[in-house]
Chains A and B, each alone.
Chain A
Amino acid sequence: MSAPRTPPRLVTGAATLAVLALAVLLGPLLAGDPAAIVDPPAAGLLPPLARRTVVELRDGSTLAGETARRADGRWLVERRGGQRVVAEADVAAVSERRFWLGTDNLGRDQLARLLTGGRVSLAIGAVALTLALLVGTAAGLAAGWRGGAVDAVLMRLADGLLAVPILFLLILLAALFRPSPAALVAVLGLTSWMDVARLVRGQVLTLKEREFVLAARAIGASDLRIAVVHLLPNLAAPLAQGAALRLGDLILAEAALSFLGLGVQPPLASWGAMVAHGQEFFPAAWWLTFPAGAAVVTAVIGAALLADGVGEAARADLHAAP
């Protein structure tokens, strides 16, 4: 039996997510301070690729000029709004800076903000996913294994939550609990465990009748042992596919909430919050809106490809199994 070929979608999806994760983990180290305000009158709302000479002064403020030159003990800074002259003694540092994705109204570097914002977006998605998987797996195991009243209560609860348009529920919750990242994670995680629970329950119901589980019960294994040693390993494949699908949904949900002003609050920024901020300067400063939107799209496509690929691999595995 030859090993089944890894579906290309799985590789593409995983690679996309890995590149994004690496970029947001390492990028902020290279891209500079995302919160640094650079001379808003002169460096605010610069389009992508703009280049400025940034003169940092000893009092902590900055000047951004098209050019800056030194002449007899003074710096002459040519900037939007006229020339400024500062004594050399007041200047702390002078640097050439390129703003690859432009700047916002405060002169903040959008590339740096995009990378740090990605940390927030992806971290909230990943932690909420973990929470949803934990709760969903526990609920699914309990419902499938115990059956009876436990099953009925848990599954009706899941049905009930699935019937509420999720964004409405999120909006209600966001209005009640002032949205901190922790509250967002809790709210997102606790409103997306239902699919996982159904998936796990369905698998457990069939696994329960299999000989190896019956054998484990016959020799007196505890419920916990059966769940961890016998059931969970067999749930890995469907769980992986469900998880990849969820991840995309969660990143989207966070983006939508933050976009509506009900998610991550300033000064913290996520991709969704950046799109919302960009709305104030839309459509003139389009570069505040679309790069962050494109980042969300990339993450969601990566997750969707991964989910497709994992599903395909699982099916191939099934057919290849003896």
Chain B
Amino acid sequence: MPRFLLRRFAAAIVLVWLVATVTFALVSLAPGDAAAGLADPRVAPEVRERFRRDFGLDRPWPARYLTWLAGAARGDLGVSWVHHRPVAAVLADAVPATALLAGLGLLLEIAGGLALALVQLRRPHGRADRALTALSLVAYALPAFVVALLLQYLFAYRFRLLPPSHTLSPGGELLTGLPRLLDQLRHLVLPVAAIALTGAGAVARYLRGSLLDERGQLYVLAARARGCSERRALWAHALPNALLPLVTMVGLSLPFLISGSLVIEVIFAWPGMGQTMVAAALARDLPLLMGGTLLATLAVVAGNALADLAYALVDPRVRL
């Protein structure tokens, strides 16, 4: 186990270094001036020069590369060109919002997918099973932004049940205690539902397959032979084994979860990583873009490593 952890840690560091290098190379090699945001001819040359000096763009690339790496290793990702604040601080403001949205979305997506799969398995290949199989394929193929817009249209604008966007109602900053919490929860419903709806299809498709496989295994038959009820055989014997690969699946789906919530954040004006990154891209705020990409990579690498570790913990057959 310690050897595995060490190897895994080393590999993760190499990977993050690689991504840091590639993002730096992309940004440095991209055609045109890095300060192209100031390409407006009305910007005075002195201002342009000062900008280049202030942000260290006048130094040769090896020096800039080393500064970037050394800084990133210490958690210093430079200064955002747009916010005029440290990139790390801008990201630190955005991360909790994304973590909340993506985390809740993930939980609901697994719960929903599991519920669907269990309903389908009451009578495999029956009518309900086939209908839900088709439904989960559609859910799986639905792009996040279409689902999000549809939910927003129906529940916020058409039926006016829920707020269309943002984390608080106008004036909600003045609320405290329970009313504030309720207001926040109401704003969470639509974006979380959008994530869960698109993800649950994939989870259901996957779990249905693995549950069907597990149910055909001899140990389930043995449990039935010992007088175990069909329900118990499914819940206590087949389900834990069918859930195992889900651990890996969750780990692997982290990048998609972060990317998926990106579009949803933009639609629901949710002040998370996605919105920050898109705004940075539109404004060509390169330090923020580089920092955000690195942070997202770090999150994904850590998530994958944790998933492997968790797999070993829940499945004693796996030795690391």
Taking A256-B143, A301-B138, A305-B137 as contacts, is the C-beta distance between A164 and B255 under 8 angstroms? yes
Are A256 and B278 touching (Cβ within 8 A)?
Answer: no
Choose one: A165, A171, A252; the contact of B278 (CB below 8 Å). Answer: A171
Decide if A176 is an interface residue (CB 8 Å cutoff): yes
Over the window 292-304 of chain A, the binary record of Cβ atoms lying under 8 Å from chain B Cβ atoms (1 yes, 0 no) is: 0110110011011
Find out whether the CB atom of B15 lies under 8 angstroms from the CB atom of A159: yes
Q: Is the CB of B150 within 8 A of A290?
A: yes
**Per-residue 0/1 for A154-185: is the Cβ within 8 Å of any B Cβ (1 yes, 0 no)?**
00100110111111110111111100000000
The answer to whether B301 touches A163, judged by C-beta atoms less than 8 angstroms apart, is yes
| Contact among A164, A286, A289, A290 with B300 in the assembled complex (CB-CB below 8 Å) | A164
- B residues 3-40 near A (Cβ < 8 Å) are 14-15, 18-19, 22-23, 26-27, 30-31
B141 touches A168 (CB 8 A): no
User: Across the interface, which residues of B come within 8 angstroms of A296, CB to CB?
Assistant: 143, 146
CB distance from A92 to the nearest CB of B (A): 40
In the assembled complex, the CB of B267 is this many whole angstroms from the nearest CB of chain A, namely: 8
> A173 and B26: CB pair below 8 A?
yes
Note all chain B residues with C-beta closer than 8 A to A256. 143-145, 263
User: Interface residues of B, CB < 8 Å — how many?
Assistant: 49
Using CB atoms, name the residue of chain A closest to B267.
Answer: A279
In the complex, the answer to whether B259 meets A166 with C-beta atoms within 8 Å is: yes
Interface: B225 (CB within 8 A): no
Q: Given A177-B30, A256-B143, A301-B141 in contact, is the A283-B152 Cβ separation under 8 Å?
A: yes
Tell whether A212 is near chain B: CB-to-CB under 8 Å.
no
Q: Which of B265-320 contact A (CB under 8 A)?
A: 266, 277-278, 280-282, 284, 286, 289-290, 292-293, 296-297, 300-301, 304
Judge whether B145 and A255 touch: CB under 8 Å.
yes
Interface size class of A (residues with CB under 8 A): 35 or more
Given contacts A175-B289, A177-B31, A283-B157, contact A164 B297 (CB under 8 A): yes
- CB of B171, distance to nearest CB on chain A (Å): 23
Q: Mark B142-162, 1 if CB is under 8 A from A, else 0.
A: 111110011011000110000
User: If the complex has contacts A160-B18, A164-B296, are A248 and B141 also in contact, measured as CB distance less than 8 A?
Assistant: yes
CB distance from B44 to the nearest CB of A (A): 24
Closest-CB distance, B299 to chain A (whole angstroms): 8
The answer, yes or no, to whether A238 is at the interface (CB within 8 Å) is: no
Whether B277 pairs with A293 at a CB distance below 8 angstroms is: no
The answer to whether the Cβ of B262 comes within 8 Å of any Cβ in the partner chain is yes
Q: Are A165's CB and B297's CB within 8 A? A: yes
The main secondary structure of chain A at its interface with chain B is helix
Which A residues touch B255, using CB under 8 A?
162-166
Q: Report the Cα distance A165→B292, complex, angstroms.
A: 11
What residues on B are CB-neighbors of A308 within 8 Å? Answer: 137
Interface: A261 (CB within 8 A): yes
> Which B residues are in CB contact (< 8 Å) with A168?
258-259, 262, 277, 292-293, 296-297
With A175-B284, A283-B152, A297-B142: A160-B289 Cβ-Cβ less than 8 Å:
no
Residues of A contacting B290 with CB < 8 Å? 172
Residues of B within 8 A of A275 (CB): 145-146, 149
Shortest Cβ distance from residue B166 to the other chain A in the assembled complex, whole angstroms: 16
Contacts of A160 on B, CB cut-off 8 Å? 15, 18-19, 22
Write the chain B residue with the least CB distance to A169. Answer: B293
A192-231 near B? 1/0 per residue, CB < 8 Å: 0000000000000000000000000000000000000000
Chain B residues whose C-beta falls within 8 Å of the C-beta of A143 in the assembled complex: none
- B140 part of interface (Cβ distance < 8 Å): yes
**Nearest chain B CB to A252's CB is how many angstroms away?**
5
Once the chains are docked, how many angstroms separate the CA of A177 from the CA of B289? 14
Q: Give the residue name and chain of the B residue nearest to A160 (CB).
A: B18
Taking CB atoms and an 8 Å cut-off, the chain B residues in 222-278 that contact chain A are 254-256, 258-259, 262-263, 266, 277-278
A-chain residues with CB within 8 Å of residue B143 when the two chains form the complex: 252, 255-256, 293, 296-297, 300
Give residues 286-322 of A contacting B (CB, 8 Å): 286, 289-290, 293-294, 296-297, 300-301, 303-305, 308
CB of A68 within 8 Å of the partner chain = no
Query: B258 near A165 (CB under 8 angstroms)?
Result: yes
**How many angstroms from the CA of A166 to the CA of B284 in the assembled complex?**
18
Does A172 lie within 8 Å of B281, measured CB to CB? Answer: yes
CA distance A293 to B263 in the complex (A): 14
- Add 4 more A-B contacts to A171-B278, A283-B157, A297-B143 (CB < 8 A): A156-B18, A176-B27, A294-B146, A300-B142
Chain A residues with CB under 8 Å of chain B are 156, 159-160, 162-169, 171-177, 248, 252, 255-256, 259-262, 275, 282-283, 286, 289-290, 293-294, 296-297, 300-301, 303-305, 308
Question: Which residues from chain B sit less than 8 Å from chain A, CB to CB?
Answer: 14-15, 18-19, 22-23, 26-27, 30-31, 137-138, 140-146, 149-150, 152-153, 157-158, 254-256, 258-259, 262-263, 266, 277-278, 280-282, 284, 286, 289-290, 292-293, 296-297, 300-301, 304
21 pairs of residues in contact across A and B, judged by CB atoms under 8 Å = A156-B14, A160-B22, A163-B19, A164-B19, A165-B254, A165-B297, A168-B296, A169-B293, A171-B281, A172-B289, A176-B30, A177-B31, A259-B145, A283-B157, A293-B146, A296-B143, A297-B142, A297-B143, A300-B141, A301-B141, A308-B137
Which 3 pairs between the two chains have the least Cβ-Cβ distance? A167-B259, A175-B281, A293-B146
